[in-house]
C-alpha cells in the first residue's frame, strides 16, 4: 500500500507518524480543563468532539466523542469503528469537498496535552518474547532452567494492575519496597535500586466475550494497539515473585503511548509469528498472519543530557501474537471486557542491542551501558527520561504511535512509621 | 456487646445471621428487573432504595440507593457510612417511633434474588494462610521448600481477574484448559479434572489511596467484608503457574457472599494476628488488633444429596490481616481504588478437618474425603453445590454473611477448532 494523500500537507511527509493511512485516536486538552477526542493527522489533531457537537460528524447513534475518553467509541463496536475511519479518510483526503469546513476543526498537535485515551478495564501482561524469557530465565534461574517447560505451549501471562496505567508524559516515581540482597539475612524497606523499563506493545480489547474464542475471533476483538512501557522494580521482583508472580514490582506505573493505532491501520503490516519450536495445541494455531511488523526503539536521556537510543527491535520478534494471547485468556471462561489492555511481554531481539529491558542490556548490572553523554547505566537513575518509539514502515510513509515518554522522579521519603 | 433488640422480631433470634448489630448491605430484586439496595434485618430486607425515593431516608447528599449497586454509598465515604448505620440502628430499634412507617419498606428475604452488591474495581488475591501455604508448598515443592523464604516477611499476593467475580447463587462452569500430567510429554486441552474451592474472606476497599499508607490507615480504608470462594483449577495451575503465578487456573469465577458486613459491625470481634515467627518490617506492624474472629465452614452437597460440612476453621488463622495486606499493596505507589476487592488467601487451620481447600483436605487426591452420603471426593464433581458460611459469634447473637453458594456445571464442549 502507498501513502494516501491528504489536504493536510504535513500528513504527506514520509517522516510523520500520522499520515492519512494511520489516523490514530487520542484524548487531549488545549490548556484548559476541557478534554477532546481526536484523530492525529500530520502536525494536527482533528477535533472529533467539536465536529460531533456541530453535527458535521454523525455516526448515527448516541453521542460518542463528548466523554473525554474513546471508551464509548470502542464500545460502539466494529460497524462504528469502520464508519469513523471511512469518514475520516474521505474527509481528510486530497480533493475532499469539505476541506474548508473541516479545516476549522484542526488543532495544532504541538499545543495539545495528551490524556489517557481510554478507560482501562483490566490489565494483563504477557511474557511472549522468547529472547526476553530466555535472558531473564538465565539470570534468575540459570541457563538450564531458563525457559520454563510450559513456555513453548502457553502464552504465559499474569494479571497486572489497571489503576497503575498512565499516559505518556506522566512522571514516574521510583517505588519503595521490600528488598533483600542475596547475602542479607532479612529484608529491609527502601527505594528500588534496580528500576527498569520493559519495551512492550499493548493490545486493547474492543469486544467482550464470555466463553472461549478462537484466534481468528480474538483478532477481531482487538480495537487497536499502543506502545507500552511496563516499569519494573527488579530487586523488589526478585524477592517477592515466588511463588505467585510479580506484584508490587510491577504496580507503580505502566506507561502507554497517547495514540491508539487501530487494527485497520496496521492491516498492511501483518506478518506471521516465528516458526514453532514445538507444535501448538489447535486452539492456539493461527489461521493466517496475526502478528505485525513494527519497528521499535527505546531512548534514554539523563537529566539535562541528550538521549541515546539503547535498543532497536521489532514487535514481530514475539513468539505469540496478541490474538493468540487473547484466545488463551478466554480458555477458562474468563470474561473479557471492553477496555481490557493486554501487554505483549518484553520485546527483545536476538542481538544484544535489541534487548527490551536494562536488566538484559546490562546483563543484571554486570555490563553497564555507556550512553552517548559518557555516563553509564545498569538501571535507571532519578531524572532519566525514557522514550519508546514505534512505527510500521510502509512504502514512503509510516504508521507511528507517537512517543511514549516517562521521566523518573526520586522515591518518596520513607515515612517515620516505616523506618527501622 | 450484647444483642441490640429490634422491633423486627426475627432479628432477635440467636440463630439469625442478621440481628440489629449486623445490618449488612446487599442488592436484590423481587422477581422483576428492578434492583434494590437493602440492609438485611432478621428475615427481612430494609428497602433503602424505596425509603430514599419516598424521602424517608436522606443522608444529605446526592441519590445513593437508586443505582442497583452499593458502590455510590461506598464512594460517599465514612461520614455517610456512619450516618447510614446510625439511621438504621435507630430506625429498627425496639421502641422506634417510626416503626409503623418503615415496616412498609421491609421485603421478605426469602423472596429476594441477590445480585452483586458492588462494582469490583480490581481484585487481588493474597496467600496469607500459613497452614495453607505450608500444605500446598509441601505438595507442589516438597516439605523442605514448602514455605517460600519471603513468606514470613511479605503478605504474598497476586492480581486476580475482577471480571470473574460473581455473587453467591451463580452457577460455576468447570473450566477447560491446558493440562499436562507428570508423565505426559506434551499438554492437551480439556476439562479441568481437579476443580477445587478456596475458603477465603474478601475485604472491600472503600477509600482510594495514591501513596503508601500505614496499617492503621489501611484498616480505615476498608468498607466491609464478604465471604469469598476462589474457585481453582489445580491441574491447570500446576502446569501454568511457573514463573508468573496463577492465571487461567483462577480466572473462571470467584464467588462472594451476597451481603457485605461492614467493618463497624465486626468491631467487637477484633483480634490480633498470630504471634510472629520472624519480626515484621515496621511498615507491616499492627498498632492494635486488626484481625477478626469469624467462624467459617464449608459444606459440599452432591447433586440431589444432603450436604456434608467438610471443613470448619476461623478467619483469625490467617498470618496477615486485610489491613496489613492493603498496607503492603500500597508500598510501590500502586493506586488503590474504591471497590478494590482483596481476597484473604485460603484459610486453613492446623487440624486436617479445618483445611480450606479440597487440595489440602484430600492431600492432592491421595486421601479422598467420604461424605455423609457415602460418596467420596478428591475434587469437585459436576452437580456438586458448595456453600461457605461464616459468622462472628457474640453473646446471644451472631454477625453472619449469608451463605456463599455455587453449583458446579459441566465444562463447555470443546469446539471443533480446538480439538486435536
Which CATH number is A347's domain given? 3.90.850.10
B239 has a chain A CB within 8 A of its CB = yes
Taking each continuous run of H as one helix and of E as one strand, the counts in chain B are 10, 27
Helices (H) and strands (E) in chain A, counts: 10, 27
C-alpha cell at A65: 466523542
Residue A370: count other Cβ atoms within 10 Å of its Cβ: 10
Query: Does B240 lie at the interface with A, CB-CB under 8 angstroms?
Result: yes
Based on C-alpha coordinates, what's the Rg of chain B? Answer: 22
End-to-end CA distance of chain B: 63
Look at residues B115, B140, B157 and tell me which one is the last residue of a structural domain: B115
Å between B145 CA and nearest CA of chain A: 11
The burial class, CB within 10 Å (0-12 / 13-18 / 19+), for A413 is exposed
The closest alpha carbon to B324, from B81, B156, B130, belongs to B156
User: Please, which residues bridge with residue B106 across strands?
Assistant: B46
Substitution target in A332, A413, A418 with the highest count of B β-carbons within 10 Å is: A332
Indicate the residue of A148, A240, A419 with minimum beta-carbon distance to B150. Answer: A240
Question: Are B88 and B144 in a shared domain?
Answer: no
pLDDT confidence of residue A24 = 99
Nearest C-alpha in B relative to A243: B245
Residue A202 within a domain: yes
Q: How far apart (Å, rounded) are the C-alpha atoms in residues B325 and B379?
A: 29
Chain B residues with CB inside 8 Å of A164's CB? 334-335
* Residue pair B336/B208 in contact by the 8 Å Cβ criterion: yes
The x, y and z cell numbers of residue A414, run together, are: 520513607
* pLDDT for the residue B301: 98
Question: Alpha-carbon distance B203 to B201, whole Å?
Answer: 7
Q: Residues A132, A291, A328, A329: which is the catalytic one? A: A132
Length of chain B as a residue count: 420
Domain co-membership, B94 together with B201: no
**Which of A50, A126, A41 lies closest to A85 in space, CA to CA?**
A41
A4 occurs within a structural domain: no
Q: What is the pLDDT of residues B312-348, one digit of tens each?
A: 999 999 999 999 999 999 999 999 999 999 999 999 9
Chain A residues within an 8 Å CB radius of B331: 175-178, 189, 248
Residues A214 and A291 in one domain: yes
- Block residue for cell numbers 451463605: B403
For residue B1, name the pLDDT band (cuts at 50, 70, 90): confident
Taking CA–CA distances from A160, the nearest residue in chain B reads B159
Q: Measured between CB atoms, does A280 come within 8 Å of chain B? A: no
Q: Is the ipTM of this complex over 0.90?
A: yes
Q: CB distance from B60 to chain A under 8 Å? A: no
Closest chain B residue to the Cα of A250, Cα to Cα = B332
Q: Specify the number of domains making up chain A.
A: 2
Q: Which of residues 206-235 of A touch B (CB under 8 A)?
A: 211-212, 214, 233
| Residue A132 annotated as catalytic | yes
Q: Does A63 touch chain B (CB under 8 A)?
A: no
Query: Does residue B38 lie in a domain region?
Result: yes
Rounded-to-integer distance, Cα B70 and Cα A88, Å: 42
Residues B404 and B329 in one domain: yes
User: Chain A within 8 Å of B245 (Cβ-Cβ)?
Assistant: yes
**pTM more than 0.90:** yes
Residue B1 included in any domain: no
Q: Does the beta carbon of A334 lie under 8 angstroms from any beta carbon of chain B? A: yes
CB B246 within 8 A of CB B345: no
Looking at the structure, tell me whether residues B218 and B94 fall in a common domain: no
Q: Are residues A142 and A81 in the same domain?
A: no
What mean pLDDT, rounded, does chain B reach?
97
* Nearest-CA distance B102 → chain A (Å): 39
Give B281 to chain A, closest Cα distance, Å. Answer: 7
Residue A2 lies in a domain: no
Average pLDDT over residues B150-176: 98
pLDDT tens over chain A, length 420 residues: 899 999 999 999 999 999 999 999 999 999 998 999 999 999 999 999 999 999 999 998 899 999 999 999 999 999 999 999 999 999 999 999 999 999 999 999 999 999 999 999 999 999 999 999 999 999 988 898 899 999 999 999 999 999 999 999 999 999 999 999 989 999 999 999 999 999 999 999 999 999 999 999 999 999 999 999 999 999 999 999 999 999 999 999 999 999 999 999 999 999 999 999 999 999 999 999 999 999 999 999 999 999 999 999 999 999 999 999 999 999 999 999 999 999 999 999 999 999 999 999 999 999 999 999 999 999 999 999 999 999 999 999 999 999 999 999 999 999 999 998
pLDDT of residue B276 exceeding 90? yes
Q: Are A276 and A350 within one domain?
A: yes
Name the A residues in 169-208 with CB < 8 Å from any B CB.
Answer: 173, 175-178, 180, 186-189
SS3 content of chain A, % helix, strand, coil (to 5): 25, 30, 50
Is A176 contained in some domain? yes
Answer yes or no: do B406 and B311 share one domain: yes
In a domain, B262, yes or no: yes
Domain boundary among B115, B148, B171: B115
Whether residues B96 and B15 share a domain: the answer is yes
Q: What is the pLDDT of residue B298?
A: 98
Model confidence at B37, pLDDT cuts 50, 70, 90, reads very high
Q: Are residues A48 and A164 in the same domain?
A: no
The stretches of B290-397 forming alpha helices (DSSP H) are 322-329, 358-361
Domain extent at residue A26: 9-115
Residues with Cβ within 8 Å of A344's Cβ and at least 6 positions away in sequence, in order, are A126, A128, A129, A200, A201, A202, A203, A228, A315, A318, A322, A325
Contact between residue A395 and residue A1 where contact means Cβ atoms under 8 Å apart: yes
Is A60 domain-assigned?
A: yes
CA B404 vs CA A89, B170, B198, B228: distances in Å: 53, 10, 12, 7
Would you call A332 and B249 a contact, using CB atoms and an 8 Å cutoff?
yes
| B185-203 pLDDT tens trace | 999 999 999 999 999 999 9
Same domain? For A243 and A102 the reply is no
Closest A-chain CA to B418: A283
Q: Which residue of A has its CA nearest to B240?
A: A150
Do the Cβ atoms of A163 and B337 come within 8 Å? yes
Considering the domain architecture, whether residues B98 and B139 belong to the same structural domain is answered as no
B201's CB contacts (< 8 A; 6+ apart) are B225, B226, B227, B228, B294, B296, B315, B322, B343, B344, B347, B390
Burial class (CB in 10 A: 0-12, 13-18, 19+), A159: buried
Q: Which of B115, B133, B154 is the last residue of a domain?
A: B115
d(CA A420, CA B17): 43
- Listed in sequence order, the residues at least 6 apart from A196 whose beta carbon sits closer than 8 Å to its beta carbon are A231, A232, A233, A234, A357, A358, A359, A379, A380
CATH number of the domain at A42, please.
Answer: 2.30.30.230
Amino acid at each position: 500500500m502507498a501513502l494516501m494523500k491528504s489536504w493536510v500537507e504535513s500528513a504527506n511527509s514520509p517522516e510523520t507518524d500520522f499520515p492519512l493511512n494511520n489516523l490514530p485516536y487520542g484524548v487531549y486538552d488545549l490548556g484548559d480543563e476541557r478534554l477532546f477526542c481526536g484523530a492525529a493527522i500530520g502536525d494536527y489533531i482533528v477535533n472529533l468532539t467539536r465536529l460531533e457537537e456541530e453535527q458535521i460528524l454523525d455516526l448515527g447513534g448516541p453521542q460518542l466523542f463528548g466523554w473525554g475518553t474513546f471508551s464509548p467509541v470502542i464500545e460502539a463496536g466494529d460497524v462504528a469503528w469502520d464508519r469513523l475511519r471511512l469518514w475520516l479518510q474521505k474527509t481528510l483526503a486530497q480533493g475532499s469537498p469539505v476541506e474548508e469546513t473541516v479545516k476549522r476543526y484542526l488543532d495544532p498537535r504541538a499545543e495539545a496535552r495528551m490524556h489517557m485515551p481510554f478507560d482501562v478495564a483490566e490489565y494483563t501482561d504477557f511474557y511472549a518474547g522468547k529472547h526476553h524469557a530466555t535472558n531473564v530465565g538465565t539470570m534468575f534461574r540459570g541457563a538450564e532452567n531458563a525457559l520454563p517447560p510450559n513456555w513453548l505451549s502457553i502464552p504465559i501471562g499474569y494479571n497486572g494492575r489497571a489503576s497503575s496505567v498512565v499516559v505518556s508524559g506522566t512522571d514516574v516515581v521510583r517505588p519503595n519496597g521490600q528488598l533483600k540482597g542475596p547475602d542479607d539475612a532479612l529484608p529491609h524497606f527502601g527505594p528500588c535500586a534496580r528500576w527498569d523499563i520493559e519495551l512492550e506493545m499493548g493490545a486493547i480489547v474492543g469486544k467482550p466475550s464470555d466463553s472461549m474464542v478462537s484466534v481468528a475471533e480474538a483478532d477481531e476483538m482487538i480495537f487497536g494497539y499502543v506502545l507500552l512501557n511496563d516499569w519494573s522494580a527488579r530487586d523488589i521482583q526478585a524477592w517477592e515473585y515466588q511463588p505467585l508472580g510479580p506484584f508490587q514490582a510491577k504496580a507503580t506505573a505502566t506507561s502507554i503511548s497517547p495514540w491508539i493505532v487501530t487494527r485497520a491501520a496496521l492491516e498492511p503490516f501483518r506478518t506471521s509469528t516465528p516458526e514453532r519450536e514445538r507444535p501448538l495445541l489447535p486452539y492456539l494455531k493461527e489461521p493466517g498472519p496475526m502478528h505485525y511488523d513494527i519497528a521499535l526503539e527505546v531512548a534514554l536521556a539523563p537529566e539535562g543530557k541528550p538521549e541515546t537510543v539503547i535498543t532497536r527491535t521489532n514487535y514481530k520478534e514475539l513468539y505469540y501474537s496478541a490474538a493468540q494471547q487473547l484466545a488463551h485468556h478466554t480458555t477458562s471462561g474468563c470474561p473479557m471486557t471492553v477496555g481490557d489492555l493486554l501487554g505483549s511481554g518484553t520485546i527483545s531481539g536476538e542481538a544484544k542491542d535489541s534487548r527490551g529491558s536494562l536488566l538484559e542490556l546490562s546483563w543484571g548490572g554486570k555490563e553497564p551501558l555507556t550512553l552517548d553523554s559518557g555516563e553509564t547505566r545498569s538501571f535507571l537513575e532519578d531524572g532519566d527520561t525514557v522514550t519508546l518509539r514505534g512505527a510500521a514502515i510502509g512504502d514512503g510513509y509510516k504508521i507511528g504511535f507517537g512517543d511514549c515518554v516517562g521521566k523518573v522522579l526520586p522515591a518518596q521519603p520513607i515515612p517515620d512509621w516505616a523506618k527501622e
